[in-house]
Structure 1
Amino acid sequence: MNVIPTMFGAALMVAAGIGTAAAEYPDHPITFLIPFGAGGGTDVGVRTAVPYLERCIGNGATIVVENKPGASGQLGFAHLATSNPDGYMISTLNAPNVEVGAITGTSYTLDKFDLLGNIVGTNVTLAVSKSSNIQTLDDLIKVAKESSTPMNLGTASIAADDHLMALRFAKMAGVRFTTLPLESAGGVRNAVIGGHVQVGSISNTETAPYLDQLRVLAVAAPQRVKELPDVPTFRELGYDLVAGSNHVLGIRAGTPEPIRAKLAGCIAQVAKDPGFLEEAKKRSIALNVMSDSEVKEFISKEDADLRALWKSDPWQ
């Protein structure tokens, strides 16, 4: 029996089948899963991008948006993790929620996903009242180390992106905070302005409009953000810290590469489409664009940092 030619022929048939499937993709509607409720920031961002994504995918692509809220996104993440690896389900994998679920739960692991990129996102800042004597991040660290009790720090909620960023910074800087969850970013901002908490961990979209009342010490972004051009990044100040709420886009791991590459390419194209950018501006959608390779590196780093933090200082 001539085994080698037979095996070679079979491999060619498989490759041809994948190529044909990719060329015909999609031949039925694609589901875009949103692991949060309708009308929220994730929902608005996805629904704004969908028409542009359909146009880029081509072949008469139709995307049906489906909301599946619950457990801070983890019900939706687990649903994607058990879906077919065929490119017919895309989901937001909001970070850091997706890593937190993988660290603290058992319903999925991060290797169940292929990451396609990121369009929507914010970055966390540390801010104090304009009337505070703390002028810089070094001042904050000095005050925290010299204080006989931990400084109080306001965050929206426990294990949210703002809280986890503050914990990571505290570990890097060798300081401790008493965390005060205040239910919303607006509540944190107002508490800082009013002098009710000493420092707040708040997104750049919450601090930028209030620079007359807040002093922003640092932003956890790869580079300075346009809303806060005079605010240094943590990296500039010696702390390798990038964090925020990012609506990472992903599919089930194992999806044929031509389909994965097509979707990743279209997400990158949508992120720079003038029509989409104009709509995002009108709807006050904060953008934090990352390619598929950049978002993989980002999630890998954030996951490693959070796992180390969970091991030394569990946040639950």
Structure 2
Amino acid sequence: MTTTRGFGRRTALATGAGLLCAPAVHAQPQFPNRPIRMIIPFAPGGATDLQMRALCDAASRRLGQSIVIENRSGGAAILGAMALVNDRTPDGHLLSQMPSNVFSYPLQTRNPPFDPVTDFSWIIQITGYVFGLVVRADSPFRTLSDLVEHARKNPGQVSYGSTSVGGVPHLTTERIAEHFGVELTNIPFRGGHETVTAVLSGTVTAMAGSGWTDHVRQGQMRALCIWGSRRLAAFPDVPTLRDLGIDIVQTGPYGFAGPKGLPRSVVNTLHDAFRESLNDPAHLAVLASAEMEVEYLGPDDYAASVAQIVEQNRAVLGRLGLLPQ
């Protein structure tokens, strides 16, 4: 005969305590369970801001939570990365768009604020910029060869504007100069608008970077080359670097990341929602307006690409003498 008399108050308390100490495997909240914050380390209204807003709007519908955009410009465009490093409760509700400076800035400081390879959870690569080398429309240089020949005959007298020292436009232009064996002088500015102004005013010979497409359309500038993998439909006569025999493809690809150590389930949830949103018509329209294309990579391939970019930047910075001693 079975009895329950032994199951008294003491046993019940002990059993209850054991249940309280047991792992709460079913108590994990569903992700996301509140609005997600996405930091964009640029001012509102630029190409990156518009693209990320369109994509986040589409992804929010798939995630069932709003995505709140926070613009944090300045600080060498690493303020978003710093916010991720300082996140003490990494659960996927804080993310940041990750520009190319994240891959070069730490290499140029004695005490880097983070390691781009190991200090983030890379989620998805999205797109890249339309980079190129452009001059004022009335410049005597009609081709890249014209500019190179002038630089060869006048060492140090050909200048180009870029948005930083050690950024993608600077490092890529130095690789181009290295290919031809000429010297080009980098003049850094605080942003793309200032760089465009410098070219149009004649302060610098050329501009390296992005943000020039409208000025070429309007007849104010002339593009000598673009750095992507193919020619642009809007500018079919402008050659790529590969067309010119230079094996460089550079779009400054970017995506976004979360803090280090995000659960893989959270990474996958975010990746899947944003992957499905890449081809949302509103997002594609924003990309097309800036002559940008989808450059998708998933979490593992994105992380591997970041490691490759960092080592490439380290090599170029070393040749330029920009690594800390």
- TM-score interval, smaller chain: 0.7 to 0.9
Deviation at 1:32, TM superposition (A): 1.6
Question: Partner amino acid for 2:102?
Answer: V
Of 76, 80, 102, the match for 1:98: 102
Deviation at 1:196, TM superposition (A): 4.9
* Aligned sequence identity (%): 27
After superposition, the C-alpha distances for 1:25-80 in whole angstroms (9 at most, x for unaligned) are 222332222334455544443333222111122xx323233344441232321221
What is the 5 A alignment of 1:150-165? 150-165=157-172
What does residue 108 of structure 1 align with? 114
After superposition, the C-alpha distances for 1:177-229 in whole angstroms (9 at most, x for unaligned) are 122345553454455456553332242x4145425343322111122233322
**Does residue 304 in structure 1 map to residue 318 in structure 2?**
no
Larger Rg: 2
Of 198, 203, 213, the match for 2:205: 198
What is the 5 A alignment of 1:269-280? 269-278=276-285, 280=286
Identify if the C-alpha distance between structure 1 residues 65 and 185 changes in structure 2 by more than 3 Å, giving closer, same or farther: closer
**TM-score, normalising length from structure 1?**
0.77
CA distance in 1, matches of 2:70, 2:104: 23
Q: Is the 8 A contact 2:166 2:317 kept in 1?
A: no
Question: Partner amino acid for 2:40?
Answer: I
After superposition, the C-alpha distances for 1:231-262 in whole angstroms (9 at most, x for unaligned) are 22213323233334554211224322232223
What is the 5 A alignment of 1:25-104? 25-57=31-63, 60-83=64-87, 84-95=89-100, 97-104=101-108
CA distance in 2, matches of 1:232, 1:17: 57
Of 271, 276, 290, the match for 2:295: 290
Task: Provide the aligned length of Structure 1 versus Structure 2.
Answer: 295
Deviation at 1:92, TM superposition (A): 0.5
CA distance in 2, matches of 1:107, 1:139: 42
Deviation at 1:277, TM superposition (A): 2.9
What is the 5 A alignment of 1:223-234? 223-234=230-241
Deviation at 1:109, TM superposition (A): 0.6
Identify if the C-alpha distance between structure 1 residues 196 and 89 changes in structure 2 by more than 3 Å, giving closer, same or farther: closer
RMSD of aligned residue pairs (Cα, Å): 3.4
Identify if the C-alpha distance between structure 1 residues 231 and 249 changes in structure 2 by more than 3 Å, giving closer, same or farther: same
Deviation at 1:108, TM superposition (A): 0.7
**Does residue 264 in structure 1 map to residue 309 in structure 2?**
no
Question: Partner amino acid for 1:109?
Answer: D
Question: Counterpart of 2:99 in 1: which secondary structure?
Answer: strand
Question: Counterpart of 1:153 in 2: which secondary structure?
Answer: strand
Question: Partner amino acid for 2:277?
Answer: V
Q: Is the 8 A contact 1:155 1:163 kept in 2?
A: yes
Q: Is the 8 A contact 1:126 1:219 kept in 2?
A: yes
What stretches of structure 2 of length at least 5 have no aligned partner? 1-21
Q: Is the 8 A contact 1:102 1:108 kept in 2?
A: yes
CA distance in 2, matches of 1:185, 1:70: 13
CA distance in 1, matches of 2:68, 2:204: 44
Q: Is the 8 A contact 1:31 1:65 kept in 2?
A: yes
CA distance in 2, matches of 1:192, 1:69: 23
- 293-302 vs 73-82, greater mean Cα deviation: 293-302
What does residue 16 of structure 2 align with? none
The structure that is helix-richer by fraction is: 1
Identify if the C-alpha distance between structure 1 residues 171 and 85 changes in structure 2 by more than 3 Å, giving closer, same or farther: farther
What stretches of structure 1 of length at least 5 have no aligned partner? 1-12
Q: Is the 8 A contact 2:161 2:204 kept in 1?
A: yes
What does residue 10 of structure 1 align with? none
Q: Is the 8 A contact 1:128 1:216 kept in 2?
A: yes
**TM-score, normalising length from structure 2?**
0.75
Identify if the C-alpha distance between structure 1 residues 186 and 73 changes in structure 2 by more than 3 Å, giving closer, same or farther: closer
Question: Counterpart of 1:291 in 2: which secondary structure?
Answer: strand
Identify if the C-alpha distance between structure 1 residues 228 and 314 changes in structure 2 by more than 3 Å, giving closer, same or farther: farther
Identify if the C-alpha distance between structure 1 residues 156 and 258 changes in structure 2 by more than 3 Å, giving closer, same or farther: closer
